[in-house]
């Protein structure tokens, strides 16, 4: 029941924002004068409400949950592709990655998030910076590792691992 209500809310809000963007755009075209605030409002509505809402609806239709070729974000949007499978225990995988020179990513907390923001702004190294959570099979990654490039936390390689459910 709650899921149906949530889907209806997303559909209605997406349609209302789409209509609002359309009306604002027509008003701006017909006005003849430049109103930067209207363009800013149109951009915010389209970028943060309309397009993500439309993306959620379309990915639910065209990429069902049982297809796991792509991860999903907390908001249900498509994330990184899944392109590697490993058979083994989490402990042996962790040992192998650390031996290969990868660093375990810190969990996302207020403190670790502040640390990566500070390191990015001050151009300092942050080898164990947190990575955003992504989901496969409805579960968050079990392990995440990364390698910084040139001591810059903004430029880094990262990899995530999940446990596959039985079957």
- Same domain? For 91 and 148 the reply is yes
Is residue 74 situated within a structural domain?
no
pLDDT > 70 in the chain, percent: 83
Expressed as residue numbers, the domain containing 56 is: 2-62
Is residue 32 situated within a structural domain?
yes
Is residue 11 situated within a structural domain?
yes
Is residue 7 situated within a structural domain?
yes
14-51 CB burial, b ≥16 within 10 A, e <16: beebbebbeebeeebeeeeeeeeeeeeebeebbeebbb
Is residue 28 situated within a structural domain?
yes
Instruction: Report which of 129, 134, 125 is spatially closest to residue 145, judged by C-alpha positions.
Output: 129
Is residue 70 situated within a structural domain?
no
Is residue 76 situated within a structural domain?
no
Order across the sheet with 152-161: list the strands: 103-104, 143-149, 152-161
Q: How many domains does the chain have?
A: 2
Q: What is the pLDDT of residue 69?
A: 77
Instruction: Report which of 140, 100, 108, 145 is spatially closest to residue 127, judged by C-alpha positions.
Output: 145
Residue 68: is its pLDDT beyond 70? no
Q: 120 is written with which tokens? A: 């990015």
Which tens digits make up the pLDDT trace of 133-143? 998 888 899 99
Which helix (DSSP H) or strand (DSSP E) does residue 98 occupy?
Answer: helix 90-99
Which tens digits make up the pLDDT trace of 85-133? 888 899 999 999 999 999 999 998 899 888 888 888 888 888 888 888 9
- Same domain? For 125 and 154 the reply is yes
For the whole model, what pTM was predicted? 0.62
Q: Give the end of a domain, one of 62, 91, 114.
A: 62
- Same domain? For 42 and 105 the reply is no
- Same domain? For 85 and 148 the reply is yes
Which tens digits make up the pLDDT trace of 20-43? 777 776 666 665 656 666 677 777
């Amino acid at each position: 029941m709650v899921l149906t209500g949530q889907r209806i809310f997303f559909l209605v809000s997406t349609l209302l924002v789409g209509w609002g963007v359309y009306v604002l755009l027509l008003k701006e075209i017909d006005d003849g004068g430049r109103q930067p605030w209207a363009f800013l409002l149109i951009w915010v509505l389209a970028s943060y409400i309309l397009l993500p809402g439309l993306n959620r609806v379309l990915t639910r239709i065209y990429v069902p949950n049982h297809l796991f070729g792509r991860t999903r974000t907390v908001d249900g949007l498509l994330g990184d592709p899944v392109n590697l499978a490993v058979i083994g225990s989490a402990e042996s995988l962790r040992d192998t990655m650390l031996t290969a020179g990868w660093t375990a990513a810190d969990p996302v907390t207020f403190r670790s998030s502040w640390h990566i923001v500070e390191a990015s702004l001050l151009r300092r190294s942050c080898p164990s910076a947190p990575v955003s959570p992504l989901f496969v099979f409805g579960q968050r990654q079990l392990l995440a590792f990364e390698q910084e490039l040139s001591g810059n936390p903004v430029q880094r390689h990262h990899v995530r691992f999940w446990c596959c459910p039985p079957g």
